[in-house]
Amino acid sequence: MILAIVMGATALYLARALLVPIALAILFTFMVHPIVQRLTECGLGRAVSVATVVGLLVLSLGGVAWILAVEFASLSIQMPVYRDNLITKIGEARRLGRGGVLDRVQSAATDVARELQKDTAAPAPPRDTPTPVVVRSEPSGLWQLPSLVEALGGAGTVLALVIFMLIEREDLRNRLIRLGGYGRLATTTRALDEAAQRISHYLLTQSIINASLGASIAIGLLLLGVPFALLWGFLTAALRFIPYVGVWLAGLLLVVFSLAAYPTWHQALLVAGLFVLLELACSFALEPLLYGQSAGVSQVALLCSIAFWAWLWGPIGLLLATPLTVCLVVLAKHVPGMQFIGILMADAPPIAPPAAYYQRLLAMDRAEAARIVSEYAKDRPPEAVYDDLILPALTHARRDRRHGLVPETVERYVWATTGELVDELHARRGSAAAGRVDTDSSARPAPRRVHVLGCPVHDEADLLGLEMLRHLVDPARWEIELCSPQLLASEVIALVEETRPAAVCIGALPASRGGTHTRYLCKRLRARFPDLRIIVGRWGLRDPAGPVRRHLEAAGADHVGLTLVETRGHLQQVYGLAPPVAAAAVRT
């Protein structure tokens, strides 16, 4: 795989003269295709729509190129004046810092460097031999014709490819689908549609946003009297295509130019304030309004991709980095052998919250585990936090312990920390958020509390499951008494005989050796108490076919719950919704 990557990068570099025009043509095709499609749907033919859009594109790019050429010519004339202003400001900054901390640090560093150079400096070469002077003349006149022809030929190639790609779009798409094979029609179609939709949406939306920012910058600079406002507006819009870095690079260049263009400092401060204000308005107002989805690439992967394509193809690589990375991520999503690229580069969460929570517990990072629980609980009820986040982590810890992957000390740390976090979550939410409180409870007598005995089968993980169940019910209507997981079956029977609960809830999380013990306990309880309601909680178990349910029900269980919500719903259905007299009769 490493050899293939190296060979591919080498081929991309050596064939850049051929591949760059094709990539630019594909980029422009994706960008203008939505407009062509909209014009075609309005009644214009495909050829007329393509001609109209490409003509407008050429006129726009030609007009911008002409304006930029005029601006650059004027800027080159004024460059000596700007250079003198910038040198003056640098001298003023040095005078302000003279005698200060920076000046003392610079002086000390200079002295140290001078001392180091005394011993390591090489002897100066003899000055007897004069240094030869080589005079080179830059090509001018007709000698520049090959470069001009090459540039015009590349532009013409891109233009022709755009036209034919827009006209023959369906034919090109069908050929790609045929390459994928008839057996992969669905996968190839999804990949092409997703890539085209993401890239077109990104390019069109980003172009609108960048053009709006560039126009706003140009208008603001014109109002402030900054010269070459159109040039700086275009430069800002162009550099903003480089994610996260380009816009601030444009701002830095603009501020430096303001320092060079004016003898005072306040004009540069006004320009910097204008730039920051417009960029913040664009980022927090315009982008959320226009963006319906992201490009699907993580920020770190996008920055690495930008660096790679810039190294490979230069400035054109900066422009093509995001579309090419989007295509790679979409391809990795649908090709079986490339999932690792999607994991490394896509913006989807790389790890599910239960796995992230369990991994932080394995690392004994309580603070990060608590943060994951708090973030997950922000917009979810407690039962969702318990069933979807905490119970899967406990099940995973028990499974790893059973296979000898984690020591017992780590498993007990997982239990202890989870118990603390569950108590903290319950304390923050309050008992009113855990259960459903009747609004008219003051108008009628309080119902009798239903007594339920909770029996953990195996260890503290089962006890934690029962503790979370107790948090989810209304304490005014339910009394869930928890016993020790170290009790034997005979001791549990004796405890039931002594307390006479309305129901026994057996907590038995999956991935344990407690399945046989659970069935044995159900049989013993059913033989001793024929009328007792026995509820088994196998919380976190995936049992679509129901064999576990059938085995436990055959052993004497009245109900087997696979989630805490399911167990709570069964309790409320049998006891919680009954009037006080009926509840007492059921218990009797």
Higher pLDDT pick, 553 / 293? 553
Q: Residue 583 — very low, low, confident or very high, per pLDDT cuts 50/70/90?
A: very low
> What average pLDDT does range 79-100 have in this prediction?
67
Average pLDDT over residues 515-539: 88
Q: What integer pLDDT is reported at residue 79 of this predicted model?
A: 74
Task: Give whole-number Cα distances, 436 to 430, 431, 445, 489, 577, in Å.
Answer: 12, 9, 17, 34, 11
Q: Considering Cα of 431, then 436, then 440, then 446, what sign does the dihedral take? A: negative
- The answer to whether 268 and 225 are in contact (CB under 8 A) is no
Yes or no: say if 336 and 328 are a contact pair by the CB < 8 Å rule.
no
Predicted pLDDT of residue 433: 46
Q: Percent helix, strand and coil across the chain, each rounded to 5? A: 75, 5, 25
Of 383, 238, 440, 216, the C-alpha closest to 319 is 238
Residue 432's pLDDT band (cuts 50, 70, 90):
very low
Look up residue 147 and give its two tokens.
């470069």
For the domain 448-587, what is the CATH superfamily, name and number?
A: Cobalamin-binding domain (3.40.50.280)
Beta-carbon count within 10 A of 485 CB: 17
CA 402, 403, 407: angle at the middle one, nearest 5?
A: 75
**pLDDT confidence band for 95 (50 / 70 / 90):** low
Domain covering 353-432: architecture: Orthogonal Bundle (1.10)
Q: Where are the domains of the chain?
A: 2-93, 189-345, 353-432, 448-587
pLDDT of 324 over the 60 cut: yes
Instruction: Give 272-295 pLDDT, tens digit per residue.
Output: 888 888 888 887 777 666 654 555
186 vs 396: which has the higher pLDDT: 396
Examine the pLDDT at 249 and tell me if it is beyond 70: yes
> Is 531 in contact with 523 (CB distance < 8 Å)?
no
Q: Does residue 260 or residue 463 have the better pLDDT?
A: 463
Both tokens of 307, joined, read 């660096």
Residue pair 325/333 in contact by the 8 Å Cβ criterion: no
Tens of pLDDT, residues 303-323: 788 888 888 888 788 778 878
- What digits encode the pLDDT tens for the residues 468-517? 999 888 888 888 899 988 888 888 899 999 989 989 999 888 865 556 88
SS (H, E, C) 419-433: HHHHHHHHHHHCHHH
